[in-house]
Amino acid sequence: MMITRFCSISLTKCIMTLTKSGEENIMKQLKQNSTEMNTVLKNLELENLTLSPSLQQKAIDIVNSGKKITPSIIKGALNHEKL
């Protein structure tokens, strides 16, 4: 339960931060090694939070999809992740 909560917090923070970063460059597609993603991962690390590489990719996919970010989208990403 605790691991799921931390993954949810990490994934949510990552997606929301990337969404805000993406607003500046609407046409730019985010990538795993992009400056924005590296900044988000460093900020999560400062808060003692991490994301597995597969969750990092899911966050990028969600942000790049252009869909509205909802709790159900985040829960769906976590439900398909092995913790």
17-74 pLDDT, tens digit per residue, is: 777 654 544 547 878 888 888 888 888 888 888 888 888 888 888 888 888 888 888 8
Q: Residue 13 domain-assigned?
A: no
Q: Residue 66 domain-assigned?
A: yes
Reported residue count of the chain is 83
Q: Residue 11 domain-assigned?
A: no
Q: For 8-16, what is the mean pLDDT? A: 73
Q: Do 59 and 11 form a contact (C-beta atoms < 8 A)?
A: yes
pLDDT of 59 reads 86
Place of tokens 């900020």: 43
Query: Token pair of 16, please?
Result: 């929301």
pLDDT of 77 reads 80
Q: Residue 19 domain-assigned?
A: no
Q: Is the pTM of this model over 0.75?
A: no
pLDDT of 4 reads 46
Range of the structural domain that residue 62 is part of: 52-78
Q: Residue 16 domain-assigned?
A: no
- What total number of domains does the chain contain? 1
pLDDT of 83 reads 40
